[in-house]
Amino acid sequence: MIDIRLLRESPDLFREGSRKKRLPADVDAVLEADGRIRELKAEVEALRSKRNALSKSVGRLPPVEREAVLAESRALGAELETREPALRELEERLTALLLTIPNLPDASVPEGAGEDENQEIRRWGTPRVFEFEPLDHYDLALKLDIADFLRGSKVSGSRFVYLKGAGVLLDQAVLRLALDTVSARGFVPMLVPELVRDEAMTGTGYFPLGREDAYALERDELYLIGTSEVSLVAHHSDEILTLDELPKRYVGLSSCYRREAGAAGRDTRGFYRVHQFRKVEQVVICENEPGVVQAEHDGLLANSEAVVQALHLPHRVALACTGELGMGQVLKHEVETWMPGRQAYSETHSCSTLGEFQARRLNIRYRDRDGKVRFCATLNNTAIATPRILIPILETYQEADGSVRVPEALKPYVSGLDRIVPPA
Map residue 152 onto helix, strand or coil.
helix
Asked if 346 and 251 touch (Cβ cutoff 8 Å), the reply is no
Q: Supply φ then ψ for residue 130, to 5 degrees.
A: -90, 145
Annotated catalytic, 281? Answer: no
From 159, 249, 258, 365, active-site residue:
258
Annotated catalytic, 347? Answer: yes
From 48, 211, 269, 273, active-site residue:
273
How many whole angstroms separate alpha carbon 337 and alpha carbon 345? 5
Task: Give 134-150 as a DSSP string.
Answer: PPPHHHHHHHHT-EEHH
Annotated catalytic, 388? Answer: yes
Dihedral sign for Cα 206, 207, 211, 215, please: positive
Strand blocks (E) in 361-414: 364-367, 373-375, 377-386, 404-405
From 159, 360, 361, 388, active-site residue:
388
H, E, C per residue of 319-366: ECCHHHCCCCCCEEEEEEEEECCCCEEEEEEEEEECCCHHHHHHCEEE
From 324, 336, 347, 356, active-site residue:
347
How many whole angstroms separate alpha carbon 7 and alpha carbon 288? 19
Alpha helices in 59-164 (DSSP H): 63-98, 137-144, 149-156
Dihedral sign for Cα 294, 385, 319, 359, please: negative
The DSSP element (H or E) to which 182 belongs, if any, is helix 166-183
DSSP state of 162: E
Task: Give 183-215 as a DSSP string.
Answer: HTTTPEEEE--SEE-HHHHHHTT-SSTTGGGS-
How many whole angstroms separate alpha carbon 348 and alpha carbon 92? 38
Asked if 161 and 152 touch (Cβ cutoff 8 Å), the reply is yes
Annotated catalytic, 22? Answer: no
Map residue 342 onto helix, strand or coil.
coil
How many whole angstroms separate alpha carbon 210 and alpha carbon 285? 23
Widest distance between CA atoms in the chain: 107
Amino acid code (one letter) for 263: A
From 18, 73, 350, 352, active-site residue:
350
Number of other CB atoms surrounding residue 349 within 10 Å: 27
User: Of 243, 242, 225, whose CA–CA distance to 234 is shortest?
Assistant: 225
Catalytic residues: 258, 273, 347, 350, 388
